[in-house]
């Protein structure tokens, strides 16, 4: 995490070598295909009860706000933090976005664009999100262009799984791989997953950008050095 700047100087410690990192049922390893991993994760998410999902969302909101509130508080104009609107079974909630906004953060949200790319727009807690393709919800405000992400001081991304080396498993369309290519290397990228989705090893492709940290409901923020 060296070189990531003051904005990532939280109280959380780097990943301990003694921390138990789970593996999904089925004994998948980095030698299994990404599609096999995606199928396993999505299958497990489909079994999560609404009560468990609600409890996990509440815990994630607390971790996100606790870890990153001071980023916004220390910026005169409010720091720009990129986040996402959880879709389907993705961990997280709108409350997480509201919590960041309440801390004076300007929250940047993705908007799907042609060519499997992401545009960006600011989140306004007072304005409803609008329905978009693939069952997503997006801000209805001004599109700021793909390069808007390059101004973010912190990027919070969804993931299907993350391993202890920072390898992130996405859904396979490449939206975030292309988006993160325009973000500065010193900008921390933090993925949010369920506890069972923070695993020992994942398959990795040459174009994958590793994340700098992970947040889970039970563990909170873990920095990945």
The CATH number for 162's domain is 3.40.50.10420
Q: Binding residue per annotation — 90?
A: yes
What Å distances lie between residue 134 and 95, 111, 127, 190, 199, CA to CA?
Answer: 22, 12, 21, 23, 27
Q: Binding residue per annotation — 175?
A: yes
In sequence order, what are the residues at sequence separation of 6 or more whose Cβ sits closer than 8 angstroms to the Cβ of residue 37? 24, 28, 160, 161, 169, 202, 203
Report the pLDDT value the prediction gives residue 75, as an integer from 0 to 100: 61
Whether residue 4 lies inside any domain: the answer is no
The three-class DSSP label of residue 113 is: strand
Q: Binding residue per annotation — 35?
A: yes
Whether residue 16 lies inside any domain: the answer is no
pTM score of the predicted model: 0.87
pLDDT tier, 171 (very low <50, low <70, confident <90, very high otherwise)? confident
Report the pLDDT value the prediction gives residue 134, as an integer from 0 to 100: 75
Higher pLDDT, 41 or 136: 41
CB 190 within 8 A of CB 215: yes
Q: Binding residue per annotation — 166?
A: no
Whether residue 2 lies inside any domain: the answer is no
In sequence order, what are the residues at sequence separation of 6 or more whose Cβ sits closer than 8 angstroms to the Cβ of residue 201? 29, 30, 163, 164, 165, 167
Higher pLDDT, 141 or 83: 83
> Whole domain around residue 127: which residue ranges?
21-223
- Rounded CA-CA distance 92/195 in Å is 13
Q: Binding residue per annotation — 173?
A: yes
- Rounded CA-CA distance 58/43 in Å is 22
Q: Binding residue per annotation — 164?
A: no
If one counts the domains in the chain, the total is 1
Average pLDDT, the chain: 84
Q: Binding residue per annotation — 169?
A: yes
Average pLDDT of span 53-60? 95
Q: Binding residue per annotation — 124?
A: no
Q: Binding residue per annotation — 58?
A: no
DSSP structure class, residue 3: T
Whether residue 92 lies inside any domain: the answer is yes
Q: Binding residue per annotation — 102?
A: no
pLDDT tier, 114 (very low <50, low <70, confident <90, very high otherwise)? confident
What Å distances lie between residue 105 and 29, 57, 78, 125, CA to CA?
Answer: 38, 20, 5, 12
Q: Binding residue per annotation — 145?
A: no
Q: Binding residue per annotation — 168?
A: yes
Report the pLDDT value the prediction gives residue 2, as an integer from 0 to 100: 40
Report the pLDDT value the prediction gives residue 113, as an integer from 0 to 100: 84
Whether residue 12 lies inside any domain: the answer is no
- pLDDT exceeds 90 at position 38: yes
């Amino acid at each position: 995490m060296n070189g990531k700047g003051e904005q990532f100087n939280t109280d959380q410690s780097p990943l301990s070598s003694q921390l138990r990192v789970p593996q999904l049922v089925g004994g998948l390893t980095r030698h299994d295909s990404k599609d096999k991993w995606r199928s396993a994760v999505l299958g497990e998410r489909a079994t999560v009860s609404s009560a468990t999902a609600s409890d996990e969302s509440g815990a994630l909101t607390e971790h996100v706000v606790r870890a990153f509130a001071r980023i916004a508080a220390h910026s005169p104009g409010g720091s720009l933090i990129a986040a996402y609107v959880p879709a389907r079974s993705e961990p997280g909630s709108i409350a997480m976005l509201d919590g960041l906004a309440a801390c004076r953060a300007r929250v940047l949200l993705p908007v799907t664009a042609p060519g499997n790319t992401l545009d960006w727009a600011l989140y306004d807690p007072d304005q409803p999100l609008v329905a978009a393709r693939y069952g997503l919800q997006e801000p209805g405000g001004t599109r700021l262009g793909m390069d808007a992400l390059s101004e973010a001081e912190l990027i919070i991304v969804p993931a299907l799984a993350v391993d202890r080396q920072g390898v992130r498993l996405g859904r396979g369309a490449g939206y975030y791989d292309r988006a993160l290519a325009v973000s500065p290397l010193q900008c921390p990228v933090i993925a949010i997953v369920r506890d069972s989705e923070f695993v020992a090893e994942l398959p990795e492709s040459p174009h994958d950008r590793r994340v700098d940290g992970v947040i889970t409901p039970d563990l909170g923020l873990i920095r990945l050095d």
